[in-house]
Amino acid sequence: MDTARFVRHIASSTNEEAAAKAAAATTDTGGPTIFDKIIAKGIPSSIVYEDENVLAFRDINPQAPVHVLVIPKVRDGLTGLNKAEPRHTEILGQLLYAAKVVAEKEGVANGYRVVINNGAEGCQSVYHLHLHVLGGRQMKWPPG
């Protein structure tokens, strides 16, 4: 990576971390999020999969050629994975299964990544549990 690109990379990671920390400090209140508006179809989104319990739509700021968010339609306290209780195991399984269906629908079943950012240190910015399904390019490990 050349120096200018490296500096841009560090600046953008730092901004992402700062934004996530600010979001964590101000929004993990259990209040409505932008995803409620998407579920209610109050704002537009590009939906790729939907069933009774789960909605999957394209991320507005894609980090890969395929970048889809999979969310529960009813949050039921799941602002993040750390809020999971035994009553949530069914919806957690449905979300993971939906991620697999989305990967197939998007043509990336041979290789993709499913990510849950949790909390400020996990760079979570929207406090409604969501899985990121990322694919269509070679993933790297370890993740940043």
Binding mask 46-65 for ligand AMP (x = CB under 6 A): -------------xxx----
Asked whether 16 and 124 are in contact (CB, 8 A), the reply is no
130 a catalytic residue: yes
- Confirm or reject binding of residue 81 to ligand AMP (CB under 6 A): no
Sheet holding 54-58, edge to edge: 47-50, 54-58, 66-72, 131-135, 112-115
User: CB-wise, 63 or 89, nearer to ligand AMP?
Assistant: 63
120 binds ligand AMP (CB under 6 A): no
Count of CB atoms within 10 A of residue 34's CB?
A: 14
- 92 contacts ligand AMP (rule: CB under 6 A): no
Q: Which amino acid, one-letter code, is at 79?
A: T
Three-state secondary-structure class, residue 2: coil
Question: Shortest approach of ligand AMP to residue 3 CB, angstroms?
Answer: 27
For ligand AMP, the binding residue among 24, 39, 45, 66 (CB under 6 A) is 45
Please tell me which residue in 9, 67, 88, 130 is annotated as part of the active site: 130
Q: Among 64, 123, 131, 134, which residue sits at the site for ligand AMP (rule: CB under 6 A)?
A: 123
Q: What 3-state class would DSSP assign to 62?
A: coil
Please, are residues 139 and 67 in contact by the beta-carbon 8 Å criterion? no
Catalytic residue annotation: 130
